[in-house]
Each structure stands twice: as structure tokens, then as C-alpha cells.
């Protein structure tokens, strides 16, 4: 059986990350199976973003190993890389694009991306496709970042403090969206937050 099929979607073993004299991560073990929602809880500066960077292959670990779909995260094949989605805490750049143009442009980087963004995702985001990115409010930019991270319906969705810029009702709606997405499609989610109540609603028991 293909290792990418049988292995956990994401796995960290004895993971460590050091920046000079500062230890950001030490002896971290993590395993995310299909259909699971895993929450990373901790205050700002606890290392959540560093862990996510290592999981995505953006950062090389100082110790231990990180695998996605059974392969080393930093050496992931493009076909498997396209099965991941990422939503950062704050969206930056692409300010000159119109919303619809940016969604279509970035969608071309995913070989398996559908021709159209799922209707349920666009309805949730409620964005003007003709608006310039630079004209969006903070909450609207965050909803756009979520659309960009989910538009290709990834098997593994990783989110770094994704609700920080959303108002309370939008946060509740987004939590419901993620729960339905995971249950309906048997896909997996890793989400970081410092808000315990949000993770309590989401994380797999």
C-alpha cells in the first residue's frame, strides 16, 4: 500500500526547532488521522506558528521529523503539496488584484482545483468579486484568505489563528463551516488558536 495512503495525513516525531539560543519547539509529537480536527492551543509566542511552519515545510526542524501524507514535509511532491491548504493569521500582498481575479489566479497553481469555487464557500465569505483586495476590511481580507486556502478542497487544511480578524458571528459561522467540511468530506484540519472556547467546539475528542 502507498505510504501516502496508509500513513497519518500529518505527523511530527520528537520535533524541535531552535533559533540561536532560543528554543521554540522541543520534543513535539503530533499525529493527525483522516477526518480529525486537531487544535493547537497556546498563548502568543508559544510556538504554534513555528510548529505550523515546520508541518508545511516552510521551516526545517532542528531535530526530529515531520511528514505529510507519509513523506518528509520539506520534500513533498507537488501532487501531494496540492492536497494541503493553508490559512495564515493575516493576509498580506496581492493588493492590486480584484477578489475574483486573485481566487482564479491562485487556483491555477493546484492541478486538482475545480473550475469553480464551491458555492457554499463563496456564500459563507460573502465577498464582492469585483472589489480590489486593498479596499477590503480586515475581516473581509481574512475571509478571502480562507477562501484561497479552501477553494481546492484540500485533504489537509492548516490554519494559523484564522478567526483573529473575524467578528463574533463570523467566528461562529466559520467554526460551523469547518465542522461541516470535515464531517462531510472526511478531510482533516489542524487549527491554532489562543481561544479555548473555539477549539472546544471544533477539536475531535
Domains of the chain, CATH where assigned? 3-202 (3.40.50.300)
Confidence of residue 7 (pLDDT cuts 50, 70, 90): low
Residue-wise pLDDT tens digits, 59-99: 999 999 999 999 999 999 888 888 999 999 888 889 999 99
**Any idea what DSSP says for residue 9?**
S
Whole-angstrom Cα distance, residue 200 to residue 205?
9
pTM, full prediction? 0.89
Tell me, rounded to whole angstroms, the distance of Cα 109 from its chain centroid: 16
Task: Tell me whether strands 71-72 and 188-193 are parallel, antiparallel or unpaired.
Answer: unpaired
- Residue 147 CA: distances (Å) to CA of 79, 88, 102, 128: 20, 12, 10, 13
Amino acid at each position: 500500500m502507498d505510504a501516502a495512503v496508509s500513513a497519518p495525513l500529518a505527523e511530527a516525531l520528537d520535533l524541535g526547532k531552535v533559533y540561536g539560543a532560543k528554543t521554540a519547539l522541543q520534543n513535539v509529537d503530533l499525529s493527525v488521522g483522516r477526518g480529525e480536527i486537531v487544535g493547537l492551543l497556546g498563548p502568543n509566542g508559544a510556538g504554534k506558528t513555528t510548529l505550523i511552519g515546520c508541518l508545511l515545510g516552510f521551516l526545517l526542524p532542528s531535530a526530529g521529523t515531520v511528514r505529510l501524507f507519509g513523506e518528509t514535509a520539506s520534500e513533498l511532491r507537488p501532487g501531494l503539496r496540492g492536497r494541503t491548504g493553508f490559512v495564515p493569521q493575516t493576509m498580506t500582498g496581492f493588493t492590486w488584484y480584484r477578489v475574483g481575479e486573485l481566487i482564479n489566479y491562485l487556483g491555477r497553481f493546484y492541478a486538482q482545483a475545480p473550475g469553480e469555487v464551491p458555492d457554499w464557500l463563496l456564500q459563507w465569505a460573502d465577498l464582492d468579486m469585483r472589489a480590489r483586495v486593498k479596499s477590503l476590511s480586515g475581516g473581509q481580507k481574512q475571509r478571502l484568505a480562507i477562501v484561497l486556502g479552501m477553494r481546492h478542497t484540500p485533504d489537509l487544511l492548516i490554519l494559523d489563528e484564522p478567526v483573529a480578524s473575524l467578528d463574533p458571528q463570523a467566528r461562529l459561522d466559520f467554526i460551523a463551516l469547518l465542522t461541516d467540511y470535515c464531517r462531510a468530506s472526511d478531510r482533516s484540519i489542524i487549527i491554532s488558536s489562543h481561544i479555548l472556547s473555539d477549539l472546544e467546539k471544533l477539536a475531535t475528542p
